[in-house]
Structure 1
Amino acid sequence: MPVAYRNQHYAELKKQHNKENLFEDPEFPATNSSLYYKKPPPGVVQWKRPGEICENPHLFVEGISSHDLNQGIVGNCWFVAACACLALKSNLWEKVIPDWKEQEWDSNYAGIFHFRFWIFGEWIDVVIDDRLPTINGQLIYCQSKQNNEFWSALLEKAYAKLFGCYESLAGGNTGDAVVDFSGAVVEAIDLQKEKYYADQNKQDKFFEDLLKAWNRGGIISSSIKPQGFRLESRTDNGLVRGHAYSVTDVKRVRLGHGLRAYFKNETIPLIRLRNPWGKTEWTGAWSDSSEEWSKIGETERGNLGITVADDGEFWMSFTDWCKNFTDADICHLMNTSLISTEKNWNEAVNFGKWTRHSDPLLNRCGGCINNKETFLQNPQYLFDVTKESDEVLISLQQKDRRIYRKEGQGDNLDIGFRVVKVEVNRKYRLHNMETLKSMHKSTFLPARMMFMRCELPKGRYVVIPTTFDAFMEGEFMLRLYTDVDSGCRELVKDKPQTKCWTPLFGYPQVVTHIYVDRAEIGQQGDQAEGINPYLIISCESQSVKSIAKKNSLTPEFQFSAIFFRKKVREPLTVQLWSDDLGSDKFLGQVTLSGRPDDVSHLQQLQLKNKGSKEADNMPGKIALRILTSDELTAL
């Protein structure tokens, strides 16, 4: 069930009002405080209800369309572009605009409306009255082309209420608004950095990925950085800098006419965009009146719905899009349903906080890895990849701070995260950089959401979400998507806890980390065929096993384990075995004392047979590192 914003329940409030007693929202009054905190609108503002602006007002006129919207005087093209994207997806807008038929103007009209937004992991139901700000009788913010259609203006008012006032919506990111409409995961693409237009193979793969995301219901937007030019200045080909465009279609279009086109099967990737201004279009190749349209047949042109009008919507080639736009947001609507014909994901959601504490073991805002002394004091989330290899999607979202703009704050924190590989049996928090292997890292940006897509081999991992600077406090939501359940969970404890039976069974005295890098197997004839080596590391009553490396005499394991040891004098063993069609063959072992004063650098040791330290040598060597400490929070 959606949460009622500020405890205002739509159904209850509507029962208390009617045409003679219209609702007036005390939580978002028709005053200047709801308009701005710093820069007032350019004129005398009067708040008017739709019935005072036009005759016969409606929520929708002839349905909902991406063509309905035009931007007002506030700089919120990002929000208008997101609304245009929303209008294309009935499954989304019907959730954002609930009970839309019941909310239309009729005998039940009471001046009250409600909208829903997905805010930081939950749906929020926002109630508003329908008094809208006007100057000279005209709406000054988001508006529809039809002067008696008001869904966009009312939706914008509800969104402004969430963030304190209309001015708080000035300047933003289209992807953020789409997330608030859907709960999507945003993948930000730096088109300028990637230079897809210069590498055809790379561009082709990107188009296929984009087309797949679009066909799966994804929402796409793009923009052009001003880069020294004036904000909203125009390029030579009609595009607007510092301006958000919504993508309204992605297609591979067939070239040619008639049967020749059918048999030749030559296509070109095209993309359609819309300017939130409702005018000012691209004038290059594949624009409304360009000669390129003569290359395709009438049927194909009809399917694309080409209109020669300055309505803000236009087509362009995918290559030109990659070349002329600098940034794109792909909002993925993640399918987590088990009953689906499309790719479904296993989702793990964790909420956390970066909090400051004088005790290093309790501090949870250690900053990025540049802060080596405090980096591992950040929150840590452990997950497993149980397949041989799995695609992992990670989304880190900080709580929106836009609502604090009125207090002169509201800037996002610079956030990011790092994925590290850890011991296969790790259960407690990380305390030492030497025990982990860094696998992937995000950049750090003052963005509301950071996203990463990576491929990880089988193993255990920890993702560490951080702010860039240490001791910066904030809230975040971490979402992780894998093909199968990853068991993602926060690491909270630093070491084993004492229990009521601890005096009877004892408590760990030291902690030992073992890392096995590789092995060399001496085999008669040096034939690797059929030699599938794997490791078993044993300590007291515990043991861990690595995956087998197929047909190798020089396996690289990069495998590690950690043990909290009660019997300090009892040695640890690292055994090397070969899995030969289910018949395991012993290849040798090394015995380690695991004392705190032992050598801690990588060392190469001779394999021996089972038995005492003086046991016979076995053909082969193993390279490993062992770290032991009597401080249980050292590793």
Structure 2
Amino acid sequence: ISTMSVAYKDQLYAELKKQHNQNGTLFEDPEFPATNSSVYYTKTPPEGLQWKRPGEICENPRLFVEGISSHDLNQGTQGNCWMVAACASLALRRDLWENVIPDWKEQEWDSNYAGIFHFRFWIFGQWTDVVIDDWLPTDKHGRLINCHSKQNNEFWSALLEKAYAKLFGCYESLVGGNTGDAVVDFSGAVAEAIDLQKEKYNEQDKLFGNLLKVWEHNGIISSSINTQEFELESRMDNGLVRGHAYSVTDVKRVSLGHGLQTHFKNETIPLIRLRNPWGKAEWTGAWSDSSEEWSKVGDAERSNLGITVADNGEFWMSFTDWCKNFTDVDICHLMNTSLISIRKNWNEKVHFGKWTRNSDPLLNRCGGCTNHMETFLQNPQYLFDVTKESDKVLISLQQKDRRIYRKEGQGENLSIGFTILKVEVNRKYRLHKYVTQQEMNEFNHTNSRTVFNRIELPQGRYVVIPTTFKPFIEGEFMLRLYTDVDSGCRSNQICALESRDIVIKSSLRSAWSKTSSINPYVIISCEGQSVRSTTKKNSLTPVFEFSAIFYRKKVAEPLTVQLWTDDLGSDKFLGEVLLYGRPDDVSHTQHLQLKNKGSKKADNMPGKIILMIETSNELTAF
């Protein structure tokens, strides 16, 4: 991900700092003033609310004290545990926090201090540099009311929170959110939400293996316990807090036993370590700080795990207990797109689009989900190819964040999702008919900022259609698609060629031949254009599920479907059928006898092809 950034509100940090250094003044941010409206938009400010610069709060203020740690952060009075949990995860990754907190050594308090700081966030696909002054809201006793460090004179977390609040209008706009969204804003990662209740993760070993792999590949994980609104942030008997975001700070298989016993027995237990953004209130069950389970672990292993008996908000628990208690997991994948890497690299395609309304069906681009089939295909469409025999495809659809509109009472996310359809291998134009297409994914729309799906797809051409749940809802989105091999993903804007008379679509179901031991494939040709299917290995009755579409001018010429076999590198003709599709023909499945070609075209060949032909003089029929 490129780290080139744009200046938020056109405020350039270096220029502003230089100007105030020259004038001997401290920066005051006109875009985010030290007023009540920058803290609250519905709540009444607490009595005695006052703004102070760090130098008025303590002696010797610092950006960092003894480096940066996930233990630095403690949540304030605002209900923004989701953002604080993301900050704790950020603190574990130097490569990430050094990007979010740029030039941190230069920003540290020194003789050039000018009351100005800046932070970078990945906002809707673009790194954005946000400048702030260092006025911070405090209570009547001069204590920070929002995020703060355990060290009284450390301010990186409070200043980072202020910059993030500025992006969304005020501190109160940060109340309630998704940790995955904040991690994406801090890193450009791809967010995946897992509902442990709906996903039916009965295979805990498989889930743990997946999370361990994510962790080992530097992914970021958080989890929470879903609850009713009246129970939000209430503490359970086991010490966990309902409706509260916890950052995952380690995932491990821990060896049980001591010394040689451990070496030979090789018994392990899956454990997960979490941190409460409050900096206190920990899990009290098995594998908590002082539980008897730790007696099963050798001294060296305990030392490696950093076990301490302290109410610092960080604790271990068994993966089984984690699955029983937590309901929602956010996984943020840091996708490696570098070609020079020992890790798996992904091919990335990114598209920015809009759902826009138009009274002309051919121009309307907000058609709603498949519940609204009359308008569904009017949505934006993106073609992509799977060129391998099969490929794992990761798709992320992110809508533009609406949190900034909360002050105006319009901050709710749209309900979004996407549908993947398999289409003809040579399709170039927009899809207009849904009936005969093959839907590849089942997707429930959600009002999350981001929706994600991973799917294994066979070779072929596909269209992904981002949608809102209801039609005629406008909005902006970013579509990211990741494959092992370049997918050629592109926006599909054009409807059809006007210089053609009819469109014909051939959908090949299967074929069979009496020839022994063949590796069959099919070639469909029309007016000088040809497409070829994949080769089916060692099959006398191959199932192709292969379709092609042609826009025709020479209606009298036939469409040719030929069956061939790849015989040790020497292609052998097995037969063909000629088809004359006319607009008034009734579409139906046909079982056609293979024929010879050329001068022997009247001769039957041993085999048949099963297919369907659809023809129309309306070019947008399919």
TM-score normalised over the length of structure 1: 0.95
Q: Which residue of 2 aligns with 1:599?
A: 586
Q: Which residue of 2 aligns with 1:151?
A: 156
Q: Which residue of 1 aligns with 2:511?
A: 519
Aligned partner letter, 1:119:
I
- Correspondent of 1:185 among 190, 194, 215: 190
8 Å CA contact 2:195–2:328 kept in 1: the answer is yes
8 Å CA contact 1:113–1:128 kept in 2: the answer is yes
Q: Supply the distance in 2 between the matched residues of 1:597 and 1:385 (Cα, whole angstroms).
A: 35
Give CA deviations for 1:237-289 in whole Å, capped at 9, x if unaligned: 11111000000011111111011111221111110000011111111110011
Q: Which residue of 1 aligns with 2:335?
A: 334
Q: Supply the distance in 2 between the matched residues of 1:30 and 1:471 (Cα, whole angstroms).
A: 40
Aligned partner letter, 1:9:
L
Displacement after TM superposition at 1:229 (Å): 6.1
Displacement after TM superposition at 1:428 (Å): 0.6
Given the superposition, is the C-alpha separation of residues 536 and 614 from structure 1 closer, same or farther in structure 2, using an over 3 Å criterion? closer
Q: Which residue of 1 aligns with 2:280?
A: 279
Give CA deviations for 1:411-444 in whole Å, capped at 9, x if unaligned: 0000000111111111111011134211113321
Displacement after TM superposition at 1:449 (Å): 0.5
8 Å CA contact 1:272–1:315 kept in 2: the answer is yes
Displacement after TM superposition at 1:355 (Å): 0.4
Displacement after TM superposition at 1:318 (Å): 1.0
User: Pairwise mapping of residues 88-487 of structure 1 onto structure 2 (< 5 A)?
Assistant: 88-136=92-140, 137-196=142-201, 199=202, 202-227=203-228, 230-487=231-488
Q: Which residue of 1 aligns with 2:57?
A: 53
Give CA deviations for 1:145-174 in whole Å, capped at 9, x if unaligned: 111111011000000000011111010000
Q: Which residue of 1 aligns with 2:8?
A: 5
8 Å CA contact 1:417–1:441 kept in 2: the answer is no
Aligned partner letter, 1:8:
Q
- Correspondent of 2:43 among 39, 44, 50: 39
Displacement after TM superposition at 1:301 (Å): 0.1
- Correspondent of 1:573 among 541, 545, 560: 560
Q: Supply the distance in 2 between the matched residues of 1:304 and 1:249 (Cα, whole angstroms).
A: 9
Q: Supply the distance in 2 between the matched residues of 1:347 and 1:459 (Cα, whole angstroms).
A: 18
Q: Does 1:531 align with 2:518?
A: yes
Aligned partner letter, 2:191:
V
- Correspondent of 1:628 among 605, 615, 618: 615
Displacement after TM superposition at 1:522 (Å): 3.1
- Correspondent of 2:595 among 601, 608, 615: 608
Q: Which residue of 1 aligns with 2:502?
A: 510
Q: Secondary structure at the residue paired with 2:441? A: strand
Give CA deviations for 1:526-559 in whole Å, capped at 9, x if unaligned: x4xx311111111011111101111111110000
Give CA deviations for 1:38-85 in whole Å, capped at 9, x if unaligned: 123333311110111111111111111000111111110000000000
Aligned partner letter, 1:516:
L
8 Å CA contact 1:192–1:325 kept in 2: the answer is no
List structure 1 runs of 4+ shifted beyond 3 angstroms.
611-614
Q: Secondary structure at the residue paired with 1:91? A: helix
Q: Supply the distance in 1 between the matched residues of 2:47 and 2:250 (Cα, whole angstroms).
A: 38
Deviates more, 1:64-73 or 1:584-593: 584-593
Q: Supply the distance in 2 between the matched residues of 1:283 and 1:627 (Cα, whole angstroms).
A: 66
Aligned partner letter, 1:190:
D
Aligned partner letter, 1:215:
E
Displacement after TM superposition at 1:611 (Å): 5.1
The root-mean-square deviation of aligned C-alpha atoms, in Å, is: 1.4
Q: Secondary structure at the residue paired with 1:578? A: strand
Q: Does 1:17 align with 2:20?
A: yes
Aligned partner letter, 2:204:
Q
Q: Supply the distance in 1 between the matched residues of 2:352 and 2:365 (Cα, whole angstroms).
A: 13
8 Å CA contact 1:53–1:138 kept in 2: the answer is yes
Aligned partner letter, 1:531:
I
Displacement after TM superposition at 1:370 (Å): 0.8
Q: Secondary structure at the residue paired with 1:386? A: strand
Q: Secondary structure at the residue paired with 1:102? A: helix
Q: Supply the distance in 2 between the matched residues of 1:384 and 1:282 (Cα, whole angstroms).
A: 48
Q: How high is the sequence identity, in percent, across the aligned residues?
A: 77
Aligned partner letter, 1:569:
A
- Correspondent of 1:83 among 82, 87, 91: 87
8 Å CA contact 2:36–2:45 kept in 1: the answer is no
- Correspondent of 2:545 among 531, 539, 558: 558
8 Å CA contact 1:442–1:451 kept in 2: the answer is no
Give CA deviations for 1:323-356 in whole Å, capped at 9, x if unaligned: 1100101100000011111111111001100000
Q: Does 1:542 align with 2:529?
A: yes
Give CA deviations for 1:294-323 in whole Å, capped at 9, x if unaligned: 001000000000011111100001111111
Aligned partner letter, 1:10:
Y
Aligned partner letter, 1:160:
A
Q: Secondary structure at the residue paired with 2:610? A: strand
Aligned partner letter, 2:197:
Q
Q: Supply the distance in 1 between the matched residues of 2:43 and 2:14 (Cα, whole angstroms).
A: 35
Given the superposition, is the C-alpha separation of residues 265 and 357 from structure 1 closer, same or farther in structure 2, using an over 3 Å criterion? same
Aligned partner letter, 1:29:
P
Q: Supply the distance in 1 between the matched residues of 2:143 and 2:570 (Cα, whole angstroms).
A: 83
Give CA deviations for 1:179-203 in whole Å, capped at 9, x if unaligned: 000000011111122343xx3xx22
Q: Secondary structure at the residue paired with 2:377? A: helix
User: Pairwise mapping of residues 482-493 of structure 1 onto structure 2 (< 5 A)?
Assistant: 482-493=483-494
Q: Secondary structure at the residue paired with 1:192? A: coil
Given the superposition, is the C-alpha separation of residues 613 and 164 from structure 1 closer, same or farther in structure 2, using an over 3 Å criterion? farther
Displacement after TM superposition at 1:602 (Å): 2.1
8 Å CA contact 2:368–2:467 kept in 1: the answer is yes
Q: What stretches of structure 1 of length at least 5 have no aligned partner?
A: 498-506
Q: Supply the distance in 2 between the matched residues of 1:155 and 1:92 (Cα, whole angstroms).
A: 13
Q: Supply the distance in 1 between the matched residues of 2:588 and 2:368 (Cα, whole angstroms).
A: 28
State the aligned residue count.
617
Displacement after TM superposition at 1:403 (Å): 0.6
Q: Supply the distance in 1 between the matched residues of 2:102 and 2:135 (Cα, whole angstroms).
A: 20
Q: Which residue of 2 aligns with 1:504?
A: none
8 Å CA contact 1:192–1:323 kept in 2: the answer is no
Q: What stretches of structure 2 of length at least 5 have no aligned partner?
A: none
8 Å CA contact 1:396–1:476 kept in 2: the answer is yes
8 Å CA contact 2:385–2:489 kept in 1: the answer is yes
TM-score normalised over the length of structure 2: 0.97
